[in-house]
């Protein structure tokens, strides 16, 4: 198998993961009963980094496989300063969750939606802290385009993270957050000092498991994360 074939094998793994009967990323705090949540969608976009050579085919994933992430502005009212997938709330002109995810990704990162193949729309998940019902839209970047933070009032940084780095056991830990009297733990990643945690980390963690990419890591390693 060539390096390029190995990378594109990741696309098949993602498709298979999307068809899994139970891909939900563990226990998420549920939305308050009787409260109508805003419908939202995020783009979970995997692609191939041209600047990084692929590694040997016996690794979990090729070294040039990456996922698109962004850092939210610290002044936002919800999830300020956190690393997230591109995405946001549904608007009236959006036909479906795919429209929402692609529109928001274009507005936030400048990517060209024409270069994105939609692999699947995953089940919606509750995001109780900001009262959203979020649908992850799984995409494959067939023709990567230049990306950067478009509106710094919303997004301060856009970056492509090698999946192999996220899978490195040294990168992984469990985040511990406290809200009032409640304490929550969940998967997290430390990418050269950039912390990926919360909803984004939960989705990535479950996708990695469902794809069969996860490398065993020390799940007793915990670190507090400021909300």
pLDDT at 222: 95
Q: Which helix (H) or strand (E) holds 98?
A: helix 97-109
SS (HEC) of 114-125: HHEEEEEECCCE
pLDDT at 4: 44
* Average pLDDT of the segment spanning 211-216: 94
Q: How confident is the model at residue 113 (pLDDT cuts 50, 70, 90)?
A: very high
Q: Which residue has the higher pLDDT, 75 or 136?
A: 136
Q: Which two tokens stand for residue 115?
A: 């270069």
Q: What is the CATH number of domain 3-163?
A: 3.90.79.10
Cα distances from 113 to residues 7, 89, 193, in angstroms, run 21, 18, 30
Contact 84, 42 (CB under 8 A): yes
Instruction: Measure the CA dihedral 159/162/166/168, to 10°.
Output: -150
Q: Which residue has the higher pLDDT, 201 or 74?
A: 201
Contact 167, 60 (CB under 8 A): yes
For residue 60, pLDDT over 90 is answered with no
Name the average pLDDT for the chain.
Answer: 84
For residue 3, pLDDT over 50 is answered with no
For residue 154, pLDDT over 70 is answered with yes
pLDDT at 65: 93
Q: How confident is the model at residue 25 (pLDDT cuts 50, 70, 90)?
A: low
């Amino acid at each position: 198998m060539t390096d390029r074939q190995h990378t594109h094998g990741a696309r098949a793994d993602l498709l298979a993961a999307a068809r899994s009967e139970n891909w939900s990323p563990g226990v998420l705090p549920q939305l308050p009963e009787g409260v109508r949540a805003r419908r939202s969608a995020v783009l979970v976009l995997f692609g191939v980094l041209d600047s990084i050579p692929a590694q040997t085919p016996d690794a979990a994933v090729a070294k040039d496989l990456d996922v698109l992430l962004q850092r939210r502005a610290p002044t936002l009212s919800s999830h300020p300063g956190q690393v997230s997938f591109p995405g946001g709330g549904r608007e009236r002109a959006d036909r479906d969750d795919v429209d929402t995810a692609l529109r928001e990704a274009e507005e936030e990162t400048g990517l060209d939606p024409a270069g994105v193949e939609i692999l699947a729309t995953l089940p919606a998940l509750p995001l109780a802290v900001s009262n959203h019902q979020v649908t992850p839209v799984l995409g494959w970047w067939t023709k990567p385009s230049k990306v950067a933070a478009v509106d710094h009032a919303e997004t301060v940084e856009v970056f492509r993270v090698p999946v192999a780095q996220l899978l490195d056991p040294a990168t992984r830990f469990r985040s511990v957050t406290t809200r009032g009297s409640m304490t929550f733990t969940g998967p997290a990643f430390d990418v050269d000092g950039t912390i990926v945690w919360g909803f984004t980390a939960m989705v990535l963690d479950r996708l990695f498991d469902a794809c069969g990419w996860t490398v065993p890591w020390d799940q007793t390693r915990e670190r507090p994360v400021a909300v």
